[in-house]
Amino acid sequence: MGQCLRYQMHWEDLEEYQALTFLTRNEILCIHDTFLKLCPPGKYYKEATLTMDQVSSLPALRVNPFRDRICRVFSHKGVFSFEDVLGMASVFSEQACPSLKIEYAFRIYDFNENGFIDEEDLQRIILRLLNSDDMSEDLLMDLTNHVLSESDLDNDNMLSFSEFEHAMAKSPDFMNSFRIHFWGC
Amino acid sequence: MLSDDHVNEIIIEKLIASLIPMTSRDRIKAIRNQPRTMEEKRNLSRGGLTSVTENEGRAKAHLTWLWKIVDKEKSKQTHRILQLNCCVQCLNSISRAYRRSKNSLSEILNSISLWQKTLKIIGGKFGTSVLSYFNFLRWLLKFNIFSFIVNFSFIIIPQFTVAEKNTLQFTGLELFTGVGYFRDTVMYYGFYTNSTIQHGNSGASYNMQLAYIFTIGACLTTCFFSLLFSMAKYFRDNFINPHIYSGGITKLIFCWDFTVTHEKAVKLKQKNLSTEIRENLSELRQENAKLTFNQQLTRFSTYVMAWVVSTGVTIACCAAVYYLAEYNLEFLKTHSNPGAVLLLPFVVSCINLAVPCFYSMFRLVERYEMPRHEVYILLIRNILLKISIVGILCYYWLNNVALSGEECWETLIGQDIYRLLLMDFVFSLADSFLGEFLRRIIGMQLITSLGLPEFDIARNVLELIYAQTLVWIGIFFCPLLPLFQMIMLFIMFYAKNISLMMNFQPPSKAWRASQMMTFFILLLFFPSFTGVLCTLAITIWRLKPSADCGPFRGLPFFIHSIYSWIDTLSTRPGYLWVVWIYRNLIGSVPFFPSILHVLIITYLYWQITEGRKIMIRLLHEQIINEGKDKMFLIEKLIKLQDMEKKANPSSLVLERREVEQQDALHLGERDSSLDLRFRRSVQEGNPRA
């Protein structure tokens, strides 16, 4: 854990981040501080990167069952730049628009990254959610079939983005649950 | 075949084309809503290079444009038109200034927002459902702060300037009973003067009568509109069409609560989710099980019996409260025991505590198909109980106390409400500290199968609504009541927080927080606030103020203060417009226009939700049609493949063709997903206002 060179963020950069993300000024500065504490010493914050393990071990993500998927979706080429972290915090903030949240939720839940949430993805989601070893095969298949029968509207045994969007638009609790506070302050 | 990059470029070009006609503010908003990396968003907003295709070695600069040039061109074209309307420019600058001030105000409000950190911790440990109770408490606190500030500035401070000396004794008991020393303070209606306060020869006069009625009216009107808008907002955001789609299990799977950050809480949540999913699955399996006629009959008769018993208990409690109150009044006329006034509030609070527990025992007898129905029925019964108690008390106050010929009946009502509120608060505190603590001891040490209790959100929110109803009724008779409620809510927050951390575990069932909050706010508006308005309306229009005390002494009705004011205004030429508004718009039946407006607004919002229902149905059909199209195309492709196989018997060519067509199929599928996103991004590129 080293200290990056303590560069103050330029005012123009702060303004631009505020315009392009859903975060407030305080939140951006808090994330900047957290980022500086974690990145390797001697590097400018705009060029420094964090590994996926470092981001996974942030207190906000440490116990999340989907932390590896979150890190996969928001990182580029396996590492997080400062702007990637900001983008992640922006999507998970309270003020983010629903379409953005639904889009990223779809990408997170698509484990095999084929553009659809198919049965394999659903089974992996369920296993992550329940985290128990006493899940029988029949129960898993039953559950998967029920989810597909409820949400799969064109009967191709997988959820496309539109079907997922439709299902999530029906549950307002989704917007309230798909939130993470990244800043410690 | 279109490559991924090529499709991406087409999407970006379409997006840019849709961004050009927008204003710069809408442009930034549209760019912010895009699911892209920061660098792409920055490029879009600055208007630089769009994409660099890396695998070609040389940068392909697409559409280098600058938003400044675009805006300049636009403004040149519209400049001539704008030269004619300079007021459009004025409006623009005004709206820009307004927006900027709104943004900075919301930032300031966020930074001084109360209890931000504590709420985050509660949300992290217990989830969004328990958090909704504390948010509701904070929201009610804002009402009370506002009411107190308004009351303090407009009626309490002027009254202080002409306050008479208080000659009564102060003993400690008065803090609980509100009588004695406090009777001659600004706390109660009876202390306020009915005169026009005038200091020196400055000429500025302050009519206390009008100030009193207008201040209370302003408080309640602001609360009314605030409630109405909150309710409409919750309706709009959370209204679901329940009878077409069930969506139960899908929601459980995809709506994992990401805000929970404690390890133990996450493990517990996973265990509870597992139980709930299994319960849901068994519910779905049992839906098809039909009961025999006998079983249905028994079930129906138990429901009827349970409802008869619960309604009977409610009516019995109301009757008991009424007769006790009457007897108390008589008793106090003959004896002068200062503590005796506490009997009625004590009994009411005991009823509020004991009868809901009794109701929750009904579930041992009643069997419901879905445990959700059980929760709703219990909630309805509790609501009916509380409404009946408040209703019977209002009836008693307006019918018996006001017409009893007592010297200062408004002060008496104010004192009653103060005592009720205080006793309710004491009981809640005792429940938090002692009751829940005992329940935890029982659950952990004695009967370990029960475990830690769960925070009963419904019961606690109903308590808050009940207390707030009392405050709203009492604000006319005891203007300092919002201050007390503020202090009580403040203390209650910390008490509940401490008790929550010590004694409770996170809830096991998914609570549908947003639906329930919509329901609770509706409850706060509909029986609670409108009941308060009716009570106050009856007071102001029908009751005779007491002759010796208060700002309205001597008038035949409270409303005559407004009538006489209108009469004096109609003699002054400068204020005739006020008289006109009063006579023509408010009219002789003052309630009618406001109720009409409420109906209109409700109808408008209902239309919005209906429109969205239609939208959902159309999108559903569209998805089904797309699926059918896909199947049709795939079948056609397979047929073509077969025809080509028969036409060219050479196997090598066949293999290559098959491989090509399989690739085409795969790319076709990927294309369909990209096409969907392409279509969606085009739709989003022209954002709906």
Predicted local distance difference test score (pLDDT) of residue B650: 59
Return the minimum-mean-pLDDT range out of A154-163, B148-157, B454-463, B597-606: B597-606
Residue B533, number of CB atoms within 10 A of its CB: 17
| CA distance to partner chain A, nearest, from residue B98 (Å) | 18
**Count of other CB atoms within 10 angstroms of residue A69:** 19
What residue segments make up the domains of chain B, in order of their start? 8-53, 128-198+205-553
Please report where in the chains the tokens 């003052």 appear, as a residue. B590
With bands split at pLDDT 50, 70 and 90, how would you rate the model's confidence at B323? Answer: very high
Q: Is the pLDDT of residue A5 over 70?
A: no
For the ranges A100-104, B60-64, B279-283, B579-583, the one whose mean pLDDT is highest = A100-104
| pLDDT tier, B312 (very low <50, low <70, confident <90, very high otherwise) | very high
- Let me know if residue A2 belongs to a domain: no
Tell me if A65 is assigned to some domain. Answer: yes
Expressed as residue numbers, the domain containing A120 is 11-178
A166 touching chain B per CB within 8 A: yes
Flag if A20 and B628 touch (Cβ within 8 Å): no
How many beta-carbon contacts under 8 Å exist across A and B?
Answer: 179
Dihedral angle, C-alpha B50, B54, B56, B57, nearest 10 °: 110
CA distance A161 to A116: 7
- Distance from C-alpha of B236 to C-alpha of B230, rounded to nearest angstrom: 10
Nearest beta carbon to residue B247 from set A19, A109, A150: A150
Q: What is the pLDDT of residue B665?
A: 46
Higher per-residue confidence, B139 vs B111: B139
Residues of chain A with Cβ-Cβ distance to B515 below 8 Å are 172
**Chain A positions in Cβ-Cβ contact with residue B249 (cut-off 8 Å):** 143, 146-147, 150
- Most A CBs within 10 Å, among B253, B517, B665, to test the A interface: B253
Q: CA-CA distance, A3 to B73, in Å (whole number)?
A: 48
pLDDT tens across B160-171, in order? 887 777 777 777
Cross-chain Cβ contact B32/A146 below 8 Å: no
Q: Which of A116-125, B280-289, B320-329 has the lowest mean pLDDT?
A: B280-289
DSSP state of A116: S
**């201040």: which residue's tokens?**
B215
CB nearest B281 (choices: A24, A142, A170): A142
Mean local confidence (pLDDT), A119-139: 84
Give how far A145 is from chain B: nearest CA, Å: 11
What ipTM describes this predicted complex? Answer: 0.89
CA distances from B86 to B36, B73, B92, B99, B146 (A): 39, 19, 10, 20, 39
CB B623 within 8 A of CB A166: yes
- Which comes out higher in pLDDT, residue B301 or B107? B301
Name the residue of chain A whose CA is nearest to B25's CA. A19
Q: From its phi and psi, is residue A113 left (phi > 0), alpha (psi between -120 and 50) or beta?
A: left
User: For residue A6, is it within any domain?
Assistant: no
Place of tokens 């019918």: B399
Q: Which residues of B243-276 are buried (b: 16+ CB within 10 A; e: fewer)?
A: eebebbbbbbbbbbbbbbbbeebbebbbebbbeb
Residues of chain A with Cβ-Cβ distance to B627 below 8 Å are: 153-156
Place of tokens 């204020």: B575
Judging contacts by C-beta atoms under 8 Å, the chain A residues touching residue B255 are 171, 173-174, 177-178
User: What's the pLDDT band for B315 if we cut at 50, 70, 90?
Assistant: very high
Q: How far is CA B442 from the centre of its chain?
A: 35
pLDDT of residue B599: 76
Per the model's pLDDT, the better-predicted residue between B519 and B256 turns out to be B256
Least confident of B339-343, B510-514, B673-677: B673-677
Cα Rg of chain A, angstroms:
19
Which parts of B186-254 fold into alpha helices (H)?
208-238, 248-254
The token duo for A141 is: 């298949």
**Percent of chain B beyond pLDDT 70?**
79
pLDDT tens digits along B374-429: 778 888 889 999 999 999 999 998 888 888 777 888 888 898 899 999 999 999 99
How many helices (DSSP H) and strands (DSSP E) are in chain A?
Answer: 10, 4
Domains held by chain A: number: 1
- Integer Cα distance of B505 and B176 in angstroms: 34
Rounded Cα distance between A32 and A47, Å, is 13
Look at residue A110 in the predicted model and tell me its pLDDT. Answer: 92
Which tops the pLDDT comparison, B261 or B350? B350
pLDDT confidence band for B679 (50 / 70 / 90): very low
Q: Which of A83, A122, A160 sits opposite B39 (nearest CB)?
A: A83
Question: Which pLDDT tens digit goes with each residue over B243-259?
Answer: 344 567 888 888 888 88
- Does A4 reside within a domain? no
Q: Give residues 121 to 140 of A whose Cβ lies within 8 Å of B.
A: 122, 125-126, 129-132, 139
- Please indicate whether residue B72 or residue B475 has the higher confidence score (pLDDT): B475
Whether the CB of B40 is below 8 Å from some CB of chain A: the reply is no
At residue A167, does pLDDT exceed 80?
A: yes
Q: How far is CA B112 from the centre of its chain?
A: 21
What is the least distance, in Å, from the CA of A1 to any CA of chain B? 22
Yes or no, beta carbons of B266 and A65 under 8 Å apart: yes
Instruction: Give A4: exposed, middle or buried? Use CB within 10 Å, 0-12, 13-18, 19+.
Output: buried
Q: Which of B124, B62, B435 is nearest to B269 (CA)?
A: B124
Question: Distance, in angstroms, between B375 CA and closest chain A CA?
Answer: 19
> What is the CATH classification number for the domain harbouring A35?
1.10.238.10
Choose from B173-177, B339-343, B467-471 the range with maximum mean pLDDT.
Answer: B467-471
Residue B313: what pLDDT?
A: 93
The vertex-B485 CA angle with B481 and B486, nearest 5°, equals: 115
Please check whether residue A80 touches B, CB under 8 A: no
Whether B33 and A170 lie within 8 Å, measured CB to CB: no
pLDDT in tens, B436-470: 888 888 888 877 777 778 888 888 899 999 999 99
Whole-number Å distance between alpha carbons of B41 and B33: 10
Which of B238, B246, B620 shows the shortest C-beta gap to A172?
A: B238
User: Is B612 an 8 Å CB contact of chain A?
Assistant: no
B-chain residues within 8 Å CB-CB of A143? 249, 253, 277, 281
Sequence-separated (6 or more) residues with CB below 8 Å from residue B442:
B450
Our CA-based measurement puts residue B20 at a distance from the nearest CA of chain A, in whole angstroms, of 18
DSSP, res B206: E
Q: Note whether B413 and B401 are within 8 A (CB).
A: yes
pLDDT at B606 over 90: no
Query: Is the model more confident about B367 or about A82?
Result: A82
Out of A27-41, B187-201, B403-417, B664-678, least confident range: B664-678
Count CB neighbours of B397 within 10 A: 22
Note whether residue A40 is domain-resident: yes
**Vertex B495: Cα angle to B494 and B496 (nearest 5):** 95
Q: Write out chain A residues lying below 8 Å of B248, CB-based.
A: 150
- To the nearest whole Å, the CA of A90 is away from the closest chain B CA by 10
Query: Pick from B33, B246, B676: which is nearest to A97 by CB?
Result: B33
- Predicted local confidence at residue B429, as pLDDT: 92
Phi-psi region of B568 (alpha: psi -120 to 50; beta: other; left: phi over 0): alpha
Quick check: B264 contacting A, CB < 8 Å? no
Q: Given this model, what pLDDT does residue B1 score?
A: 44
Q: Is residue A70 part of a domain?
A: yes
What's the pLDDT score for residue B664?
46
CB contact under 8 A, B128 and A177: yes
* CB–CB contact A174 B35 (8 Å): no
* pLDDT score for B130: 84
**Mutation site for B-interface testing, chosen from A176, A179, A180, A185 by largest number of B Cβ within 10 Å:** A176
pLDDT tens for B50-77 read: 444 443 333 334 444 566 666 677 777 6
How does the average pLDDT of chain A come out, rounded? 84
A176 touches chain B (CB under 8 A): yes
Segment B283-309 shows an average pLDDT of 80
CA–CA gap between residue A57 and residue A80 (Å, rounded): 13
Instruction: Calculate ∠ Cα B665-B670-B676, nearest 5°.
Output: 125
Instruction: Give the residue on A whose Cα is nearest the Cα of B273.
Output: A130
Answer yes or no: is pLDDT of B687 > 80. Answer: no
pTM of the model: 0.72
Interface test mutation site (partner B, options A150, A168, A174, A179, max chain B beta carbons within 10 A): A150
Chain A, 97 to 116: residues with Cβ < 8 Å from chain B are: 97, 99-100, 103-105, 109, 115-116
Rounded to 5 degrees, φ, ψ at A49 are -130, 155
Query: In whole angstroms, what separates CA B283 from the centre of its chain?
Result: 31
For position A34, what pLDDT does the model report?
86
Task: Lowest mean pLDDT of B232-241, B288-297, B633-642, name the range.
Answer: B232-241
Burial tier of A165 (Cβ tally within 10 Å: 0-12, 13-18, 19+): buried
- Mean pLDDT on A21-26: 86
Q: Is residue A180 within 8 Å of residue A92, measured between CB atoms?
A: yes
